[in-house]
Structure 1
Amino acid sequence: MVKKITLRIVTGIFLIIITYVLWANKGIGSKAPQTLKIDVAEAYGDSSNRGNIVGIQAFMEPIDYASEENFSKKIKFYLDEAKKKNWLIPAKTIVVFPEYFGTWLVALDEKESIYHTPKIEEGLQKIVVRNIGKFLRTYISSPDSVKDKVKYSVFAMKAPTIAKVYQEVFSALAKEYQITIVGGSVLLPEPGVEYGVLKTGKGQLYNTSVVFEFDGQINSKLIKKAFPTADESSFICPVDAKSIPVFQTSIGRMGVLICADAWFSDAYKTLKTKDVDFVITPSYSNGVGYWNKPWSGYSGAETPKEAKADIGKITLGEAWIKYAMGTRAKTEAGVNKGMNVFLQGNLWDLGADGSTIVLSDSARITPHIGKSALINLWL
């Protein structure tokens, strides 16, 4: 009798596992059409032999992350549009993508329903259910200092795949168009470059930006966000602003500040000591409609004394000009050129706000459209 009961239990568990595996691997990806459109294209400055910076204010949707093919297709579309305008100059163009651009590869090769789910929490829950084994292993081994272990585990468990696709796509396109690419940013645990390959490890999660050279090689110096926002601080680890690297490109020395880092003087002290020629800032401002509403102060850190008087009196967009790259690059690092690119799109219910900011001696905000844009700055 005991043997029969045991056999039934084992058989039942086996059938449950088989059913789960079949379910988890059915209906992966999506054939839904992607939005391939440029809403605005603007150029600043005069064409010169020195080179240029092209900001891709990308409009992204969940379907763009359904497969490596979709991800590559979307990026290639933007690059082709820039090429049509003669903005991609071999070995002399730097193309910038927004913050978090690579992060949503967490939705890569998941069940189709995820790409049509209206809320991000529901989408992440579905990813967890389909990858429950990986999730539990990652959750259990997550660092003690991580407060939000669920968010940490969702991104960390898929990091090896995310890093692989992220590098393969950007490296191939950088080589094809012979351009330097700043690949926005991506969340990775203990990232590093080993023998030319982007690797991940076990440990803290970092908001990381990667530079791909015009020959397709990945630059071994990774940029990690030094000042996470309030939304990030529970699962993303900061770094010392002194560790922010500078890159010697064919058109000058480039500094890269990931989003909120551009608001802090310590970041510019680092850039000034390393003598940069221009500053790149990939950004993401979540929500909708905040850009033209009163500014509420710094996120994730105390608002500096000199800025407190402007809380509630200037808009978020105006604050980005006054207290971030648009002003600080020039006044604190002696840099007269730069670009701040924001992510746009319908990424579940996250919302996306902001508008590209161009620094060319003085700073200006490009039209606030909440859509895709190509912005070119001649150096």
Structure 2
Amino acid sequence: MRKLLASALALVMIAAVCGYGFWTQQRPEGHYLSDLRIELALNHGVPGEHGNLLGIEPVLYPSDYQNLQRLHRKLSAYFEQAREQGLINPRTVVVLPEHIGTLLWARGEKNELYQVTQYREAWQWLELSNPLHYGLAMLGATGDDRRSDAHLRMKARQMADDYQQLFGSLAREFGVTLVAGSIVLPAPYVERGQLHVGNGPLFNSSLVFASDGSVLGQPQRQRYPDSEVRRYIEGDQQPLQVLQTPAGRLGVLVGSDSWYPQNYQQLADQSAQLIANPVFLSGKGSWHSPWRGNRHQQAAGTLPLAKGDVSEQDAWRQLTLDANPSTPAISVFLRGQFWELGADGQGFISQAGEQLAGNPSAGARLLNLWL
């Protein structure tokens, strides 16, 4: 009798494990509807032979990341509207916002992950749906926030492949140089034209794609991650790179790297002629909230503002303009709602000691500077 009960219990356990394993592999897709409209908030200068810097500030949601086809469709609709307005040509440099690639961790998950309202609930669905990958990633996680590290590390190879496929195809489809926002990956590097992930710490990095879809240079890693992510993302002090594009020599400063004059000096020493600054600012309505500063970072002590002195809007504009008095630059923010976490900010252009912000809008925005 005991052997019979033990055998029955073993069968039940095997059935439960097999059922759970089968459940984790199911990825049905839910209904999808998205707003593809975008407003031309700023168009400065006169079209000419030198090209233009074009910032695209999309409005994105978790459901946009359920598969690559959805995200490509939405982003390409923005590109197409820019092309219809005469803003895309072979010398155009398009800039997308920070962390637009990082959110690829949500690609290919269960419907429940996109439907919950809290970020931590989405984490739980990610962990439950990928128990083996999550467990292995936790073993290799580093930093003070090992859980966040593991979430990104567990899907890093898929994210890197998706990032290159998606943004390389957009650059090729529209014939532009594309600064593909940023993506957080472990020790990323490019070898033989392919983006790879390493075994080291997580870095917030931006990749630039040429008009044929190929990669230009190496991933540009963020030097000064802000206080919200420094518990699991490391800063990198390798020299900044400048890339040759049809519009001129391009430098990329990720996020709050645009606040520090020494970064612009590095780019100037390499004869940079234009600068792209992909940005992510978390929190609904945070653009008009008191500036959070950049805590726990030695370099922040050199900044002329203290936490709370001004609004986020005024801090970003003042610090970026003060640090860069001359080189044409564009700062581009991600918009949208990611579970309970909003993304805010209004992009702006810096040129010849002045700053241009264009019309504020709650929707997607285009910002264009003719060079």
Give TM class, smaller chain. over 0.9
1:88 equivalent in structure 2: 88
SS class of match (2:281): coil
SS class of match (1:352): strand
**Once superposed, what is the RMSD of the aligned Cα atoms?**
1.8
The answer to whether the 8 Å contact 1:28/1:109 transfers is no
Structure 1 counterpart of 2:324, one-letter code: A
Structure 2 counterpart of 1:188, one-letter code: L
Distance in 2 separating the partners of 1:63 and 1:276: 38
Distance in 1 separating the partners of 2:4 and 2:101: 52
2:221 equivalent in structure 1: 224
Distance in 2 separating the partners of 1:110 and 1:166: 17
Distance in 1 separating the partners of 2:248 and 2:11: 66
SS class of match (1:377): strand
2:277 to 276, 281, 288: 281
What is the count of residue pairs matched by the alignment? 369
1:268 equivalent in structure 2: 264
SS class of match (1:118): coil
SS class of match (2:215): coil
1:68 equivalent in structure 2: 68
1:161 to 158, 162, 170: 158
Distance in 2 separating the partners of 1:191 and 1:152: 15
> What does 1:1-379 align with in structure 2 at a 5 Å threshold?
4=4, 6-90=6-90, 92-143=91-142, 146-240=143-237, 242-301=238-297, 303-304=300-301, 307-308=304-305, 311-324=307-320, 326-330=321-325, 335-361=326-352, 362-379=354-371
Distance in 1 separating the partners of 2:3 and 2:262: 69
Distance in 1 separating the partners of 2:280 and 2:366: 16
The answer to whether the 8 Å contact 2:181/2:278 transfers is yes
Q: What is the TM-score of this pair, normalised by structure 1?
A: 0.92
- Structure 2, unpaired ranges of 5+: none
Q: For residues 246-284 of structure 1, what are the alpha-carbon distances to aligned partners after superposition, in whole Å with 9 as ceiling and x for unaligned?
A: 111111111100011111233223212212111110000
Distance in 2 separating the partners of 1:248 and 1:344: 29
Distance in 1 separating the partners of 2:175 and 2:19: 48
Structure 2 counterpart of 1:61, one-letter code: Y
Distance in 1 separating the partners of 2:296 and 2:261: 15
The answer to whether the 8 Å contact 1:118/1:348 transfers is yes
Task: State the identity as a percent.
Answer: 28
The answer to whether the 8 Å contact 1:205/1:235 transfers is yes
Distance in 2 separating the partners of 1:194 and 1:2: 60
TM-superposed deviation, 1:178 = 0.9
SS class of match (1:21): helix
SS class of match (1:291): helix
Q: What is the TM-score of this pair, normalised by structure 2?
A: 0.94
Distance 1:306-1:34 versus aligned 2 partners, 3 A rule: closer
Structure 2 counterpart of 1:201, one-letter code: G
- Structure 1, unpaired ranges of 5+: none
The answer to whether the 8 Å contact 1:356/1:375 transfers is yes
Structure 1 counterpart of 2:330, one-letter code: M
SS class of match (1:304): helix
Q: For residues 221-257 of structure 1, what are the alpha-carbon distances to aligned partners after superposition, in whole Å with 9 as ceiling and x for unaligned?
A: 11011111111111111100x4221111111111100
SS class of match (2:178): strand
Distance in 2 separating the partners of 1:366 and 1:227: 28
Distance in 2 separating the partners of 1:264 and 1:22: 51
Structure 1 counterpart of 2:339, one-letter code: W
TM-superposed deviation, 1:158 = 0.5
SS class of match (2:257): helix
Distance in 2 separating the partners of 1:13 and 1:306: 60
Higher alpha-carbon deviation: 5-14 or 261-270: 5-14
Distance in 2 separating the partners of 1:298 and 1:189: 23
Higher alpha-carbon deviation: 369-378 or 296-305: 296-305
Q: For residues 103-154 of structure 1, what are the alpha-carbon distances to aligned partners after superposition, in whole Å with 9 as ceiling and x for unaligned?
A: 11111110111112111111111111101110110111223xx111100000
Distance in 1 separating the partners of 2:262 and 2:327: 18
Runs of 4+ in 1 over 4 A off after TM superposition: 1-6
Distance 1:148-1:51 versus aligned 2 partners, 3 A rule: same
Distance in 2 separating the partners of 1:253 and 1:26: 47
The answer to whether the 8 Å contact 2:177/2:208 transfers is yes
TM-superposed deviation, 1:353 = 1.2
